[in-house]
Amino acid sequence: MSALGDRFRAARENRGLSLSEVSEQIRIRSVYLAAIEDENWAVIGAAVYVRGFLRTYARFLGLDPEQAVSEFAGREPELIAPSRPDEPPAESPLRAPGSGLGPFIWVASLVAVVLIALIVYLGVTLQQGPVPVAAVTATPGPTGQPSSSPTGQPSSSSTGQPSSSSTGQLPMGSATAHTLVLHLSAPSWLRVTVDGNVSMVGTFPAGTTRTFHGKVARVRIGNAGGVTIYVDGAGVGPLGKSGDVVVRRFTL
């Protein structure tokens, strides 16, 4: 046995450490540490691993790592035998004690969480889909006749009341088939479904006037006393008192 392995063993024993205790501190398996002390390089395998283990072990014991590598290099061609397929792979000397894939795994986990959250958000958004709104909004014009507005937003007039005759009819020319007109004289929550599609939902201010076209309309009103409805130009009469919740179905 040559002096190189003896120096490593003597330095370890002078510290009163076993191979397993050193292995726990420098993260090199004890079988490789014993191979260094016995100079049984074939157990470790490739020369690059031997040099890495020598440097790490030498620094831990307070020996000169470059001198140890130089002594090994002088006998490297004749002392290293090819590793056998059934031997376990040698540990990489580039893994310093306490290092590892910790930061990489943490970053990868964070990215995975963000991607999963994004996928869930997109899935919920696509399932809900957009809520259709009324295609036409009618606002009272200067002559008292409602004029069409394509914005689909609630509108109000200066008087807050639609023009109507004493017979409960909309002004001449505004009565069309398959049409429902809804006007608010007071704020109210509304939900209007036309031919199975939700066309209007939410709380709307006084003065809001909306026109809907279809075959069947279902209206749910949160303040019946503040809402007036006209079907094909004809008023349907009182829907209820202020604060009453009313559900009505109309065939247009």
8 A C-beta contact, residue 252 and residue 179: yes
Kindly state the percentage of the chain with pLDDT values over 70: 66
Q: Per the structure block, which two tokens stand in for 75?
A: 């006998």
19-32 average pLDDT score? 96
Lowest-pLDDT range of 49-53, 85-89, 247-251 = 85-89
Kindly list the distances between the CA atom of residue 84 and the CA atoms of 61, 90, 157, in Å, as whole numbers in the listed order: 30, 12, 92
**Residue 110, pLDDT score:** 82
**Residue 77, pLDDT score:** 52
The domain boundary, picked from 38, 60, 79, lies at 79
Q: Is residue 177 a part of any domain in this protein? A: yes
Q: Is the pLDDT of residue 147 over 50?
A: no
Q: Is residue 101 a part of any domain in this protein? A: no
The domain boundary, picked from 34, 63, 79, lies at 79
How many structural domains comprise the chain? 2
C-alpha–C-alpha distance, residues 147 and 140, integer Å: 6
Answer yes or no: do 144 and 74 share one domain: no
Answer yes or no: do 70 and 141 share one domain: no
Q: For residue 203, list its beta bridge partners.
A: 189
Q: Is residue 203 a part of any domain in this protein? A: yes
pLDDT digits (tens, 9 = 90+) for 209-236: 999 999 999 989 999 999 999 999 899 8
Between 99 and 214, the higher pLDDT residue: 214
Going by C-alpha positions, the residue among 176, 174, 167, 186 that lies closest to residue 214 is 176
Answer yes or no: do 145 and 47 share one domain: no
Answer yes or no: do 73 and 145 share one domain: no
| Prediction pTM value | 0.33
State the alpha helices, DSSP H only, in 62-171.
65-79, 102-128
Q: Is residue 85 a part of any domain in this protein? A: no
Going by C-alpha positions, the residue among 155, 143, 150 that lies closest to residue 209 is 155
Q: Is residue 131 a part of any domain in this protein? A: no
C-alpha–C-alpha distance, residues 244 and 221, integer Å: 8
Q: Is residue 89 a part of any domain in this protein? A: no
Answer yes or no: do 142 and 241 share one domain: yes
What is the Cα Rg of the chain in Å?
Answer: 43
12-16 average pLDDT score? 95
The domain boundary, picked from 62, 79, 96, lies at 79
Q: Is residue 174 a part of any domain in this protein? A: yes
CATH number at residue 51: 1.10.260.40
C-alpha–C-alpha distance, residues 217 and 234, integer Å: 15
SS3 124: helix
pLDDT band, very low/low/confident/very high, at 153 (cuts 50, 70, 90): very low
185: number of Cβ within 10 Å: 16
Answer yes or no: do 141 and 66 share one domain: no
**Residue 230, pLDDT score:** 93
Give the range of the structural domain holding residue 228, as residue numbers without chain letter: 136-251
Q: Is residue 7 a part of any domain in this protein? A: yes
pLDDT digits (tens, 9 = 90+) for 121-141: 887 666 665 544 333 344 444
